[in-house]
Amino acid sequence: MKFHSVVIDANFLMRDYPLRGNALQKMIKTKSFYALEICIPEVVRDECIGNYAKDMEVASKELIGLSDKLDRLGLQGVLSKNTVAKKLDSSRQKYTRRLDDFIAVNGVKLLPYPAVRHKDVVERMYQQKKPFTDVGVREKGYKDFLIVASIEEYLKRGVQDNVLLLTENVADFACAKALSKKENPLLPLDDQYGLSNVYVARSATVLFSALSSNIGQSCSSEVISTFNEKLVRAVRVRLSDVDAELLLDMFGAFLDVNIEQDTIRCEVIESQIQIDDEVDIMEAKGIIKVSFRCTFSVDNFDVQFKIVDDQFVFMKQVKDRVFQERLPWRGEWSENFSNVEFSKEFLFEYIDIDYVENNEGVTRELDILYLSVSRL
């Protein structure tokens, strides 16, 4: 079962207001690999913006209350109300731009509001068809209905393959019978919507498991298995001889990280291989998971001169240590980190411009010069 696109619901985006979470970034970075279109309905965009403003209002009231409490404790000025208010107001405006930029820069398709008749919506409410199943509040589910209607109009524009709806609110979308069967995590949309080629994924894990069916193969399982084994060995070689390019790919910084070689584990999650026999070229791409333990050192110089910043994969550990030890961010210090666990997924690409499917081709190792990896 092949999927043409993924439609993202607001509850998934609202868990990640900065739009930098692993699941969302993985979806964006692998969309070409899975030949996938990422869609956000316009109603979801507006819901995210509205809820961000609401959440900021709640945070503003909590911070003002904390400021008043600190004042009563004789700690006037520790938390400035005016400064907080300005930052919160600025954040509201920035979030709209951030979300719109995310949509534009990453080629996300914005599904416009559907052209549905108000009469049809009201009739559906009184018929208690999904998502209008709450008798006490008939209008509950209106935004969910608009999402499905947006998908329906999107399908009418020529989308032939299946569509995945990523949402945590499966009860209002998924088939009730399928919901009662826990062995199938991927759920069909309820029959009341009349869209048989739309499925519901309740998590990114379920979504990526379903997307495995998008991987087409034009070569045998033996060739794939052999390549995967050689890929694992090639990645281990690169890890044992760490170069500047790999440091940046893996850690997001040109910092000396000592990898404990006996702890290295590599697992090929997905691999797609294309072979052109006429010109003897083999191209492979996919996802590989790399895990190991390591040690590294960071000092104030690394931080001040941006050798390590928020892109550094271990920056949380660094910030936690600085906070725990009360180290001055701009003062002089040096900290060692040992037995740090690393586990990340990477996109890989490999090309063999002299591929021959014979004994020589089977035994020859991958040339690491033609192997590229990038962190998801």
Place of tokens 């040339």: 367
Highest-pLDDT range among 77-86, 206-215, 350-359: 206-215
Q: How much is the pLDDT for 359? A: 47
Tokens of 16: 């990640």
Tell me if 374 sits within 8 A of 346, measured CB to CB.
yes
pLDDT bin (cut points 50, 70, 90) of residue 245 is confident
- Mean local confidence (pLDDT), 117-132: 68
Give residue 57's pLDDT.
Answer: 82
Q: What's the pLDDT score for residue 242?
A: 67
Nearest 5°: phi and psi at 271?
Answer: -145, 135
Two tokens at 311?
């892109």
Residue 137 confidence (pLDDT): 57
334 token code pair? 């040096």
Q: What is the mean pLDDT of residues 349-357?
A: 80
Of residues 68, 63, 70, 53, the one with CA closest to residue 85:
63
- Which helix (H) or strand (E) covers residue 274, if one does? strand 265-276
Listed residue (236, 331, 335, 328) closest to 290, CA to CA:
236
Between residues 7 and 353, the one the model is more confident about: 7
Q: How far apart are the first and last CA of the chain?
A: 25
3-state secondary structure of 28: helix
State the pLDDT at residue 49: 92
The DSSP bridge pattern shows strands 198-201 and 162-166 to be parallel
Q: Is the pLDDT of residue 48 over 60?
A: yes
